[in-house]
Amino acid sequence: MFNPIKDDPNIKLDIYLRQRCLKHFGRNFTDQEFEKYKLEYYNQLEKLAQEDKKQQEQARKQREARRKAREELINERINKRNIIPEDYSPAFDTDSLRELAEKNASYSEGTNISGTESEQIEINLDLEAFNLSNSTFTNVTFKEECNLSRVNFYKATFNNVTFEKNVYLNEADFTRADLRNVNFSQDTILKYASFAFASFRRGVSIEFDKNYIATSTFDFNRNDIWARLSASYSGIWQFIYIALSGLYFGIILFKLYLFNAATEIQSKLISYDGSDYTIPLERIEMSAFRFIFGGEGLSIAIAILILCYQSLRLFVTTKIAPLIESEKQSGYTPSRSSYTSYSRLNIFIKILGIITMALFFYEIWEIFQKDLMIPLPGAI
């Protein structure tokens, strides 16, 4: 219920100001003193608001100045990165790369930085828009938050290299790069990085995020999340899953047809009124449901699980099919955010499928364990 004293903001503010005024004077105050105090309070608030607005505007201008300075720096790097300096020599260590970055000299083609398996070289530099084409990196770790955005890695060779989480590789160009034993941490930022005609050798670990890989070559089976997910819902595996479910429900339809045929034969035998012979019949009434699924409920449980399984697969298929088609047409993998939730759901679907298959084979095993009663000749 609305309480005008507690819920009206103007009344609450008035009470609050009177309490502050009482603390300020340390005694009871007159209405004139209260009005004067209230005016001073509002003026102070207005002054603080103006100062805050001024600080925000200064911060905005500083951010804008930093952004423009950064933009100018990157544009300068882009303009310089294909121009070979007169005194150029390839970088062979991180100090050389650091000097180039500090001088804003972005041409560094043919760089060769090599560590050892026991002592890897760590790189944590701002190399955005650098030209590192035809470079070689061996036993190297690009540390967290290293900025390699828009770097040209054309025909670069990577051997035993790790890109740690939050390494920026946005729009990096790995065209015709050779990657061997390379680990891209799952949080590596790879958006719009291009891997056109790149060669992925064994030992490469990568999660793609809107990357161009249409012309890339893989000499191993891709094991990234998107590859596993798209393979499960397209091609031969999609056909196998549908065929197995179709086989099960085909058996159910066959049993239903068999039940219907047996019912018709039974009704004809019962209604037969021939005088030459009679057939003694002992009947057990059984519904079609019990005939098909049995009396223990295992078959119906399997049928329900298969229905749930296929319904979930149909749902995921309708969601990722457009992503698969888009990748085929554009050559770009979908963004991670567009399929991550379906990947988690796919794990549940796989578990459900395993449970269903286990129950199905258990039912088959039980059927083979049952004894079949066959009447001997002359027993009737």
Digit-coded pLDDT (tens) for 103-123:
888 999 999 999 998 899 999
Average pLDDT, the chain: 82
Q: Is the pLDDT of residue 69 over 90?
A: yes
**pLDDT confidence of residue 93:** 92
* Cβ neighbours of residue 237 closer than 8 Å, sequence gap 6 or more: 231
Burial 208-237 (b: 16+ CB within 10 A, else e): bbbbbbbebeeeeebebbbbebbebbbeee
- What was the pLDDT predicted at 237? 67
Q: Is the pLDDT of residue 83 over 80?
A: yes
| pLDDT at site 28 | 85
Give the H/E segment covering residue 326. Answer: helix 298-330
Is the Cβ–Cβ distance between 320 and 342 less than 8 Å? yes
Find the range with the poorest average confidence among 52-61, 145-154, 280-289.
Answer: 280-289
Q: What is the pLDDT of residues 297-356, one digit of tens each?
A: 677 777 788 888 888 888 998 899 899 999 889 888 898 889 989 989 999 988 988 888
Confidence of residue 375 (pLDDT cuts 50, 70, 90): low
- Answer whether residue 257 shows pLDDT above 70: no
CATH class held by domain 88-223: mainly beta
Answer yes or no: is pLDDT of 135 > 90.
yes
SS3 245: helix
Question: For residue 61, what pLDDT is reported?
Answer: 93
> Above 80 in pLDDT, residue 23?
yes
Report DSSP state, residue 150: T
